[in-house]
């Protein structure tokens, strides 16, 4: 064994506890913020709830909240964008949800508290089918955490039961299940990645010609794939319906949007005059240094927290104002096809903050519109060029709009002779939307629409 000393120089950004708390406050929605303020007021004696806290009692708040839910239940979303006739879901009382099942398998001793918090959020982001569609890059930006950490936590989640949970789609799920039982090979990978549609149609001969695998072997592979579970979330109860009170609302006076933070009942905090007087007395006497240091730290923390709360309010309002300006038509109509391509950097540039600040501001927050409630993250959608030339992002078309066009075409097809993915791609070309057949397949699967063979009646 050879031992030696090395000198390594590296740069690290160290955040103070106050700065970490400020960033954490920015990510909170109204419910989380209300609970946080209550806990802080218990922990810090110099903080107190303002007596002029909007002039309304907690009982009045609860009564108005129940009234809101009753009047707006058909506008309340359980998650991101849905169809306009699906804004309200009844609660389910299944005993075991996928989320509870996954959390029960976590060995907390293997992770830090911060990692456990991220794991819990990642599991919450897994959809009812058992898939986690966000990329590690997107998750890294969302949680402001290194991609290596995200990859480590994702790998751990993907080892949980049922096998395949946490995959980005059903293809990755199938491959993970085959890998788990030691049956995954390069031929199966190719069939799953490229030729599943041919297998679903029973066209083994063509799949054989394209892959060089014998038809007999392909049939064996197909039977192996059929035994797998492409939807790992099946068999679990649905998540309990969470009736969402929006963090911000937008209404319209004619064409003029009116944006308002829905924070009327968030407790307003202030510095306690009693403890401020106590600090002044201790400072004048300078007799008890320990008490003076304790109170000084509590006052500094209280002051920083009050500033952080105001900063959150200011940033949230500015970000939402920019969102309403960019997605005005969608907010008026509620149609996915009216979403325009939008990136974090577009809003960050307009508001004058870093992209990570916008990402934290969007986290777990919702906007109430005249037609429903949507996640702020739903306003951001990728872009696809409308023309063969690269015209730039502003001239592009949102992926949601293209998905809407694909869905509309399939809804109008002859069910006895469904249109193929190739025909859909050709139809989009005529509409000056240039995407490949493979992209059509991807969008169709994201819409949970079967292929032409599966749709045939």
Cα 1 from Cα 225, distance rounded (Å): 49
Least confident of 159-173, 179-193, 219-233, 370-384: 370-384
Percent of the chain with pLDDT over 90: 12
pLDDT band at 156 (very low <50, low <70, confident <90, very high): very high
CA atoms within 13 A on the CB side of 415: 3
Q: Mean pLDDT, to the nearest integer, of 433-448?
A: 82
Q: Are 387 and 433 in contact (CB under 8 A)?
A: no
Length of the chain: 457
Q: Which residues contact 237 (CB under 8 A, 6 or more apart)?
A: 92, 93, 94, 95, 96, 97, 98
Question: Does residue 258 sit in helix, strand or coil?
Answer: strand
**Residue 398: in which H helix or E strand, if any?**
strand 397-398
Cα 36 from Cα 57, distance rounded (Å): 18
Residue 318: per-residue pLDDT: 92
CA distances from 181 to 112, 177, 224 (A): 31, 7, 11
DSSP string over 180-237: HTT---HHHHHHHHH-HHHHHHT-HHHHHHHHT--HHHHHHHHHHHHTS-S-TTTTSB
Q: Provide the b/e sequence for 255-264 (b: ≥16 CB within 10 Å).
A: eebebebbbe
Partner residues linked to 257 by β-bridges:
252
Looking only at Cα atoms, what is the longest distance across the chain?
93
Kindly report the pTM of this predicted structure. 0.51
Q: Mean pLDDT, to the nearest integer, of 114-129?
A: 89
> Considering the domain 383-455 in this protein, what is its CATH number?
1.10.10.60
Residue closest to 398 by CA, chosen among 198, 406, 414 = 406
Return the residue matching tokens 């995200």: 150
**Residue 250: in which H helix or E strand, if any?**
strand 248-253
Residue 278: per-residue pLDDT: 75
Cα 176 from Cα 167, distance rounded (Å): 8
pLDDT band at 426 (very low <50, low <70, confident <90, very high): confident
Q: pLDDT at residue 16 above 60?
A: yes
The per-residue pLDDT for range 32-83, each reduced to its tens digit, is 888 888 888 888 888 887 765 554 544 554 555 555 555 554 444 443 443 3
Extract long-range pairs of 354-361: CB within 8 Å, 24+ residues apart.
355/141, 356/141, 356/144, 357/26, 357/315, 358/319, 359/141, 359/142, 359/144, 360/23, 360/26, 360/27, 360/144, 361/26, 361/27, 361/312, 361/315, 361/316, 361/319
Sheet-wide strand order for 256-261? 256-261, 248-253, 366-369, 372-375
pLDDT band at 165 (very low <50, low <70, confident <90, very high): very high
Residue 388: DSSP 8-state: S
Asked whether the bond before 306 is cis by omega within 30 degrees of 0, the reply is: no
- Domain residue spans in the chain? 94-239, 248-379, 383-455
The per-residue pLDDT for range 201-232, each reduced to its tens digit, is 778 888 888 889 988 888 888 888 888 888 88
Q: Mean pLDDT, to the nearest integer, of 248-266?
A: 86
Q: pLDDT at residue 274 above 70?
A: yes
Cα 384 from Cα 287, distance rounded (Å): 70
Q: Mean pLDDT, to the nearest integer, of 289-312?
A: 84
Q: Are 140 and 147 in contact (CB under 8 A)?
A: yes
Q: Mean pLDDT, to the nearest integer, of 5-14?
A: 51
Q: Are 114 and 131 in contact (CB under 8 A)?
A: no
Q: What angle do CA 296, 297, 301 make, to 5 degrees?
A: 120
Residue 26: per-residue pLDDT: 86
The per-residue pLDDT for range 175-204, each reduced to its tens digit, is 999 998 888 999 999 999 998 888 877 788
Q: pLDDT at residue 29 above 90?
A: no
Partner residues linked to 374 by β-bridges:
367
Residue 3: per-residue pLDDT: 56
pLDDT band at 86 (very low <50, low <70, confident <90, very high): very low
The per-residue pLDDT for range 331-368, each reduced to its tens digit, is 888 877 777 888 888 888 888 888 888 888 888 888 88
Q: pLDDT at residue 93 above 50?
A: no
Percent of the chain with pLDDT over 70: 79
Q: Provide the b/e sequence for 172-181 (b: ≥16 CB within 10 Å).
A: bbbbbbbeee
Q: Mean pLDDT, to the nearest integer, of 240-257?
A: 78
Residue 135: per-residue pLDDT: 87
Q: pLDDT at residue 395 above 50?
A: no
CA atoms within 13 A on the CB side of 355: 12
| The two structure tokens encoding residue 63 | 């009564």
Q: Which residues contact 222 (CB under 8 A, 6 or more apart)?
A: 199, 204
Cα 173 from Cα 165, distance rounded (Å): 7
């Amino acid at each position: 064994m050879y031992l030696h000393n090395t000198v390594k120089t590296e740069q690290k950004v160290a955040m103070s506890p106050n700065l970490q708390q400020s960033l954490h406050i920015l990510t909170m929605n109204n419910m989380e913020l209300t609970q946080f303020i209550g806990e802080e007021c218990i922990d810090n004696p110099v903080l107190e709830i303002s007596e002029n806290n909007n002039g309304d009692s907690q009982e009045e708040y609860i009564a108005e909240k129940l009234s809101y839910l009753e009047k707006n239940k058909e506008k309340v979303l359980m998650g991101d964008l849905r169809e306009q006739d699906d804004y309200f879901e009844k609660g389910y009382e299944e005993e075991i949800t996928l989320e509870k099942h996954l959390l029960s398998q976590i060995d907390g001793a293997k992770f830090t508290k911060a990692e456990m918090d991220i794991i819990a959020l990642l599991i919450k982001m897994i959809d009812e089918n058992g898939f986690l569609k966000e990329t590690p890059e997107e998750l890294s930006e969302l949680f402001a955490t290194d991609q290596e950490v995200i990859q480590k936590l994702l790998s751990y989640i993907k080892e949980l039961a049922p096998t395949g949970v946490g995959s980005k789609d059903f293809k990755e799920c199938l491959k993970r299940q085959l890998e788990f039982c030691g049956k995954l090979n390069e031929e199966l990978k190719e069939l799953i990645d490229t030729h599943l549609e041919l297998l679903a149609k029973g066209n083994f001969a063509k799949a054989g010609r394209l892959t060089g695998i014998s038809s007999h072997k392909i049939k064996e592979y197909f039977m192996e794939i059929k035994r797998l579970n492409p939807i790992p979330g099946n068999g679990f109860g649905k998540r309990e319906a969470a009736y969402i009170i929006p963090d911000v609302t937008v209404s319209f006076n004619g064409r003029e949007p009116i944006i308002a933070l829905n924070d009327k009942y968030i407790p307003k905090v202030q510095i306690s005059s009693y403890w401020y007087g106590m600090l002044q007395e201790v400072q004048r006497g300078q007799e008890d240094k320990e008490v003076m240091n304790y109170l000084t730290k509590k006052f500094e923390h209280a002051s920083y927290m009050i500033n952080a709360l105001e900063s959150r309010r200011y940033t949230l309002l500015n970000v939402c104002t920019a969102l309403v300006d960019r997605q005005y038509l969608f907010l008026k109509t509620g149609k996915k096809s009216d979403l325009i391509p939008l990136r974090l950097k577009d809003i960050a540039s307009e508001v004058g903050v870093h992209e990570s600040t916008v990402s934290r501001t969007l986290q777990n927050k919702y906007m109430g519109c005249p037609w429903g409630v949507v996640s702020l993250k739903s306003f951001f959608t990728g872009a696809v060029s409308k023309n063969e030339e690269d015209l730039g992002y502003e001239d592009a078309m949102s992926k949601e709009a293209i998905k809407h066009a694909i869905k509309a075409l399939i809804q109008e097809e002859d069910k006895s002779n469904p249109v193929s993915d190739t025909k859909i791609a050709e139809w989009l070309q005529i509409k000056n939307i240039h995407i490949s057949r493979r992209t059509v397949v991807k969008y169709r699967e994201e819409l949970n629409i079967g292929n032409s063979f599966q749709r045939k009646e």
